[in-house]
Amino acid sequence: MTLSPSAAAPAPTPGEAPRVPFAERYRATQHGGIVRAANSAATCASPVSAGVPSCAAVRRGTGTGTNGDYEMTYVDVDDDPNTYNSSRAELRLPAGARVTYARLYWGGNLRVGEQKPPADNGRVLVAEPGGRYKEVLADTLVGHRRTRLTDGYTASADVTGLVARSGGGLYTVAQLNVARGHSPAGAWGGWTLVTAYEHRREPLRHLVVMDGYEATTTARNTLRFTAGDLPVPPGAAGSVGVVAYNGDRGRGGESLAVRAGTGPEAGVRDRANPVGDLMNSTITDHGRPGPRRVPSHANTLGYDSDVYDIAPALRGGGDSVTLRFTDRGEGYQLGAVFLQTDARR
């Protein structure tokens, strides 16, 4: 069934808050892992600032520009006249995997050249591979933070049933509440489908999903999250995924360090996410482009959904994993992190 946004009533939401402290959403120790599909909902239409690269160059990642340098517009890849934004991404599950948990995260900026009302922050449309749009409503507190220049939010919903029935493939998310136009802060928006799975042939791993809505500011430039009671053996392999909003490529100042137990911190970086510019509008896996996306812009202009290798931080083992995010002034918002580590060696 195709849903018409013009005919839909405002989405009932479970409430909102300008700050939602991070908390554990899901945890399991099982043979398997965590995968995700992600894409952006906004992109550039035309340059506004003098001397910036063309939109085509910025989208390809061959030119450096930020969302505040451009007139921004919606990404819209479907052929449905009732949707004004839509994008697709592949959820790549191993053959024979059993989905044990799936959660969809989405968010954006409501104030750019236009002001979008917040009533639909808690609603999106989702189509599974080969399927039609289904309404998905937020089932937990919506983060919604207004500043002088921005009106950002994040929301999420449990979609385990849908993903378990549908499996891997291209998922489409539409009608994500996001504004278009131009402002100094610029438009941003995107979605990430985080999925935990079980597979008997994969290593035994700890899987943890945490979420909330936390912003870095000049007064609060460090954010720490700890997954406790997590026995990590020395030499374990592991990765962490991060969902973040309003990170601008080239602005710099952002970093992530990871620690196992009381061991030394190890900075996170890869070839797509350099030290000091971690929130740089990318959707990557271990420094490489992830599974298929439509469109597949290298620079999302304000949305990050990246997976990083954290094996160096786990070398000595420990009984917990702590993530420390820092910022030297750009200001970004975190919506979710997802972690997997070996449970035994």
Would the pLDDT of 10 be above 70?
no
Which residue has tokens 């089932």? 139
Which residue has tokens 């002001």? 115
Q: What is the per-residue pLDDT across 244-287, written as a single tens digit (0 to 9) for each?
A: 999 999 787 899 999 999 999 999 999 999 988 999 999 999 99
Q: What are phi and psi of 13, to 5 degrees?
A: -120, 155
Judge whether 84 and 175 are in contact, CB under 8 Å: yes
Tokens of 111: 């104030």
pLDDT class of 295 with cuts at 50, 70, 90: very high
pLDDT score at 329:
75
Would the pLDDT of 5 be above 70?
no
pLDDT score at 7:
40
- Say which range, 2-11, 40-49, 183-192, 222-231, has the weakest mean pLDDT: 2-11
The closest of 155, 196, 167 to 41, measured between CA atoms, is 155
For the chain, the structural domain boundaries read 22-342
Q: What are phi and psi of 243, to 5 degrees?
A: -110, 120
Judge whether 199 and 96 are in contact, CB under 8 Å: yes
The alpha carbon of residue 154 and the mean position of all alpha carbons in its chain are separated, in whole angstroms, by 10
Q: What is the gyration radius of the CA atoms in the chain, in angstroms?
A: 19
Tokens of 221: 């430039």
Counting every residue written for the chain, the total comes to: 345
> Which letter does DSSP use for residue 312 in this model?
G
Cβ neighbourhood burial of 264 (10 Å; 0-12, 13-18, 19+): exposed
Q: What is the per-residue pLDDT across 163-185, written as a single tens digit (0 to 9) for each?
A: 999 999 999 999 999 999 999 99
The closest of 330, 327, 242 to 283, measured between CA atoms, is 242
Judge whether 72 and 182 are in contact, CB under 8 Å: yes
DSSP 3-state of 238: strand
pLDDT score at 100:
99
* Side chain identity at residue 19, one-letter code: R
Per-residue pLDDT, averaged over 187-213, amounts to 99
Judge whether 125 and 2 are in contact, CB under 8 Å: no
Query: Which runs of E-coded beta strand occur in 250-299?
Result: 254-260, 266-267, 284-285, 288-289, 293-294
Q: What is the per-residue pLDDT across 104-137, written as a single tens digit (0 to 9) for each?
A: 999 999 999 999 999 999 999 999 999 999 999 9
b or e along 115-134 (b: 16 or more beta carbons within 10 Å of the residue's beta carbon)?
Answer: ebebebbbbbbbbbeeeebe
The alpha carbon of residue 340 and the mean position of all alpha carbons in its chain are separated, in whole angstroms, by 16
Using left for φ > 0, alpha for ψ between -120 and 50, and beta otherwise, residue 321 falls in beta
pLDDT score at 328:
85
Which residues on adjacent β-strands are paired with residue 333? Answer: 215, 245
The closest of 246, 238, 190, 186 to 215, measured between CA atoms, is 246
d(CA 334, CA 326): 11
**Considering the chain, what percentage of its residues have pLDDT values greater than 90?**
90
DSSP 3-state of 161: helix
How far CA 308 is from CA of 12, 57, 90, 171, 328, in Å, comes to 35, 26, 18, 23, 21
Write out the H or E segment, with its range, that includes residue 145: strand 142-146
DSSP 3-state of 76: strand
Select from 1.10.1740.10, 2.60.40.10, 3.40.50.300, 2.60.120.260 the CATH code of 22-342: 2.60.120.260
* Side chain identity at residue 109, one-letter code: N
Which residues on adjacent β-strands are paired with residue 101? Answer: 196
